[in-house]
DNA sequence: CGAACGGTTGATACGGCTCAAGTCTGGTGG
DNA sequence: CCACCAGACTTGAGCCGTATCAACCGTTCG
């Protein structure tokens, strides 16, 4: 991944004293005193519970949030009362980057289960990046990465069928959990089928049927929120689009 | 838009000596000498022609590109030979932000028509942002804005039907052109129906039928690539989702 | 002139949404 | 501790939107 020959992500995750900072100081050669300075501006709030809001759409933007443990969903309430789930955020992931532009949150963030969340006042972080080049670069990377992830999801929604979407979703969860040292093959979903469907652009019933099918096909075991992935390769194959999708391929 | 009481976007567009810089120096109070410094690192290449590449997937990331005139599409080639169109970029828009993270381009960028494109070496820009706080802030905003835009598109692909997608696409083009001083109601499409369909996750035939329908309904006049918007309000209404969509609304 | 390509239009098939029952689980109160 | 209820999930049947297949038209270009 990292082209510039620096410390690997995993090395640095350990080096970071506060796990909530890993996302920010991952792949850069931050001097210990710089890590110290970064560490000082981070607020460690008391644990939040299911249903608590980190922020709501329209709130003034003050801080970025980093999930330490637990999970958070971000969503855009739509005028008609519904909502569009924009993402699920697992430990180590940063929330709120989309609010910098307008200086206000464009979406809401709600805690899915009891979670520890760190808060990083953006104004102070921005000051800090002015004097620590590698931290500034890391911020650019963080923002850029978010764009790349959105792009992937975009591809998912534009081109993949229901099966491929759910498979991709599960693999994404699996990989992200694994990156944080949790099991990649045995985990609990903190979101409802409804939320999964909303996120993937599918009806609840479709999601439910697919879980059943995946289990019947021996790809995984599903017991309510408990997921055990049995055949990861088969899942990857589903996503990769081995199966014939729709058309939608052509050039200029 | 701009919460912080600074010069408006439009004021500054004029102030910028080089129109290609507008995206970067839009809403900040850049001192004249800073604009000068920014201006100095911008390369003005000779015009590119239809089919030329700005960069290809996998290329090492060196520069951001800003469209001065013309248009560019970005797309991700898929292993099977097809491609996913990720975006169309009009004058004033910045290309390449998603490449910062991995220091390599994750997509390709191809010129759709004869275009003038400026190149900004990122390493030099990054140096510059270290010494100009408002430029740094503007970079954060630019990246953040890109995230917000992706999110919008994501919503489009996840929740909207064909009609709403095409309407949203046309309105988006219209507004972006208008922002650059071009006509919002009379313009030429530089991309093919195929590319539009690919971008919106629709089959070419569907796009074609919708253009016909929109014209029959008196929303616009369509003559090949020439689009004249007649009833913008009706288009807005289509997008807003006045019509009943699918379900996909619920909470946690 | 003919071939290639982009675009339009029609007929048909099918994936996934919708509607409609159920089933299971967890929480609450008697 | 059980009865009850509400909400999450599952399962089935049918329908609708859009992809797909196919034919055709107009334009461009060699």
CATH number at A198 reads 1.10.10.10
CATH number at A41 reads 2.60.120.10
Average pLDDT, chain A: 85
Chain A closest-CA separation from residue B100 CA (Å): 6
- State mean pLDDT over B159-169: 95
Q: What is the pLDDT of residues B8-63, one digit of tens each?
A: 333 334 334 455 566 665 545 677 777 888 888 888 888 899 999 999 999 999 99
Is residue B75 in a domain? yes
Contact A76, A106 (CB under 8 A): yes
B81 and B132 housed in the same domain: yes
pLDDT of residue A32: 76
CA–CA separation, B124 and A211 (whole Å):
50
B234 and B132 housed in the same domain: no
Q: Which nucleotide is nearest to B246 (CA to C1')?
A: C17
B190 and B89 housed in the same domain: no
CA distances A16 to A9, A90, B23, Å, are: 11, 18, 36
Q: Detail the protein residues whose CB sits closer than 7 A to any atom belonging to strand D.
A: A 192-194, 204-205, 207-209, 211-212, 222, 224-225, 245-248; B 161-163, 201-203, 205-206, 252
pLDDT of residue A249: 45
Q: Return the higher-pLDDT residue of B247 and B235.
A: B235
Q: Is the CA virtual torsion A100, A101, A103, A108 positive or negative?
A: negative
B148 and B165 housed in the same domain: no
Contacts of B249 in chain A (CB under 8 A): 78, 80-83, 198
A55 and A113 housed in the same domain: yes
Q: Closest Cα partner for A64 from A23, A112, A35?
A: A23
Are A203 and B151 inside 8 Å of each other by CB? no
Token pair 């890109």: residue: B146
For the sheet with A108-111, list strands across it: A53-55, A108-111, A72-77, A83-89
Q: What pLDDT band is residue A28 in, cutting at 50, 70 and 90?
A: low
Strands B83-89 and A43-44: unpaired
Are A252 and B112 inside 8 Å of each other by CB? yes
| Last residue within a domain, chosen from B153, B177, B203 | B153
B119 and B210 housed in the same domain: no
| Last residue within a domain, chosen from B137, B153, B169 | B153
- R_g (Cα) of chain A, nearest Å: 19
A20 and A140 housed in the same domain: yes
Q: What is the pLDDT of residues A222-251, one digit of tens each?
A: 999 999 999 999 999 998 765 555 444 444
pLDDT of residue B170: 97
A23 and A107 housed in the same domain: yes
Q: Which residues pair with A77 in a beta bridge?
A: A83
| Last residue within a domain, chosen from A122, A152, A182 | A152
A100 and A173 housed in the same domain: no
Chain A closest-CA separation from residue B149 CA (Å): 9
A137 and A17 housed in the same domain: yes
Contact B157, A157 (CB under 8 A): yes
Name the residue closest to the C1' of D11 by its CA.
A209
Contacts of A247 in chain B (CB under 8 A): 203
B176 and B137 housed in the same domain: no
Domain containing A191 equals 161-240
Chain B closest-CA separation from residue A235 CA (Å): 18
Is residue A252 in a domain? no
A85 and A209 housed in the same domain: no
Is residue B246 in a domain? no
Number of structural domains (chain B) is 2
Contacts of B155 in chain A (CB under 8 A): 76, 84, 86
């Amino acid at each position: 991944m990292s082209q510039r020959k620096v410390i690997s992500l995993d090395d640095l995750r350990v080096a970071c004293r506060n796990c909530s900072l890993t996302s920010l100081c991952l792949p850069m050669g931050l001097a210990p005193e710089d890590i110290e300075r970064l560490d000082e501006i981070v607020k460690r709030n008391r644990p939040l519970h299911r249903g608590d809001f980190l922020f709501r759409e329209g709130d003034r933007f003050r801080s970025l949030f980093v999930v330490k443990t637990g999970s958070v969903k971000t969503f855009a309430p739509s005028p008609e009362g519904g909502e569009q789930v924009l993402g699920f955020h697992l430990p180590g992931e940063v929330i709120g980057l989309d609010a910098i532009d307008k200086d206000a949150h464009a979406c809401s963030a709600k805690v899915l289960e009891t979670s520890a969340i760190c808060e990083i006042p953006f104004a102070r972080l921005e000051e800090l990046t002015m004097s620590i080049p590698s931290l500034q670069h890391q911020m650019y990377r963080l923002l850029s990465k978010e764009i790349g992830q959105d792009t992937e999801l975009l591809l998912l929604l534009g081109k993949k069928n229901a099966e491929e979407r759910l498979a991709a979703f599960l693999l994404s969860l699996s990989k992200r959990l694994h990156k944080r040292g949790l099991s990649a093959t045995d985990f609990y979903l903190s979101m409802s089928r409804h939320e999964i469907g909303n996120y993937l652009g599918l009806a609840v019933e479709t999601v439910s049927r697919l879980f059943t099918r995946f289990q019947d096909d021996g790809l995984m075991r599903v017991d309510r929120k408990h997921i055990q992935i049995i055949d990861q390769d088969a899942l990857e194959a589903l996503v990769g689009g081995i199966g014939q999708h729709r058309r939608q391929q052509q050039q200029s």
